[in-house]
Structure 1
């Protein structure tokens, strides 16, 4: 593993550890409330507006946030991939049009508007907001998968496999899935970034979780007015979100880079060493 990849991996692992192992360590945090935006008895990060330790709040505020984002993306990608591949493989042009034109209409709708309408109609239900985020992501996912799959499902290789009597499951599950794995994995990381952005925006605007929640995005919104006197109450949860998103995208770019690009980098590194 190169040093660069180790740094990228560390950027991803640190927020994940804080989110999923943090509640275990937060058990030792003080239960009593302290002075708002003041020093804390437990960590050097001080307290938030409710007198809770900032580190303890960060340790307990990431798990639900990330699980909702990940679950939303996976469900949206499953739906978008099915529609996109069906459109790419459609034997008739009108079937492709029937599947893709509603996606074009959906792309015209502002994503935050969809989320705000869902939040207002359901009085801030986290489930409804997650569904709205997934709904907003389906259209771009569908268009990307259709574009990526069109050249694969209509390729001469697929025709040859069909003429050889290979089953549809083998053609799509073996050959097509192997060809599409890299671009879909890269796009999946991008959609996860978008889901985190939308979820954080909804929580920041007070549309999602309870305003007293320790959720990272809620903490940023709730404590933003005290940024100058208690910067860690905003910087710590915001930094964890940014670190995770930047780390995921850098790591995906490094892992999913074109093999020819990797070979060029390797040769350049060897020439420098010589």
Structure 2
């Protein structure tokens, strides 16, 4: 048909990657302040007000939440990124709260409060910095899960056009001819697997390199 197949395949990864990155960033933009406020507050009611609705949302499977929302309105790429972000906020907020609560219980935080330091300085300057490695490790795992969720939603026809240049759409569109031309299914499916696995490996390598550098700097 005169189409550049290789270019089409490469273009198929762009919506998956961009939507997954946008969803992950949006999830952390909400989860970080919610988790930090919940970890540092001394008011139990405020913590319950922030975390209990997220616990309810956490009980709903992410894919089911996206499919239910898709029955109400037809999301595009932006809508899919928002839905995936909402599905990831509860778990990310709980992780931030757990990591932040551990740091907030240290004597250094009480000392900062007695010195009259601002909440922003305590939350971001000390508690936030103390859990950077935890957040970095979670970001790699979360981005991998988000990539899988975005690809699954696209395979089911949520957030993408039926004829879009998208790896998940390619798998769905060509699966009926799997035994006629298997590469039309195997290549985009393999690229999704390679992307998710490679992302996790890159984050692991970066964390390992950062840990070794920190260890060298800590030596006398």
Normalised by the length of structure 2, the TM-score is 0.88
Matches within 5 A, 1:247-266: 247-257=198-208, 259=211
Preserved contact between residue 100 and residue 128 of structure 2 (Cα < 8 Å): no
Deviations 1:129-152 (A, max 9, x none): 222111111111111111111011
Matched length: 213
Q: Secondary structure at the match of 2:124?
A: helix
1:245 equivalent to 2:188? Answer: no
Matches within 5 A, 1:32-181: 33=1, 52-181=3-132
Larger mean Cα displacement after TM superposition, 124-133 or 238-247: 124-133
Preserved contact between residue 106 and residue 139 of structure 1 (Cα < 8 Å): yes
Matches within 5 A, 1:204-223: 204-223=155-174
Q: Secondary structure at the match of 1:211?
A: coil
Deviations 1:152-172 (A, max 9, x none): 123111111222333333322
Question: What RMSD in Å do the two structures reach over aligned CA positions?
Answer: 2.0
Partner of 1:230: 181
Structure 1 or 2, whichever has the larger Rg, is 1
Unaligned runs of 5+ residues in structure 1 are: 1-32, 35-51, 264-274
Cα pair distance change 1:171/1:204, threshold 3 Å: same
Q: Secondary structure at the match of 1:87?
A: helix
Preserved contact between residue 20 and residue 147 of structure 2 (Cα < 8 Å): yes
Partner of 1:200: 151
Deviations 1:168-224 (A, max 9, x none): 333222222221111111111222112111111111112221111111111111112
Preserved contact between residue 54 and residue 232 of structure 1 (Cα < 8 Å): no
In structure 2, how many angstroms separate the alpha carbons of the residues matched to 1:169 and 1:117? Answer: 38
Deviations 1:16-47 (A, max 9, x none): xxxxxxxxxxxxxxxxx15xxxxxxxxxxxxx
Deviations 1:233-263 (A, max 9, x none): 1222222221121112122223324948x97
In structure 2, how many angstroms separate the alpha carbons of the residues matched to 1:54 and 1:75? Answer: 33
More helix by share: 2
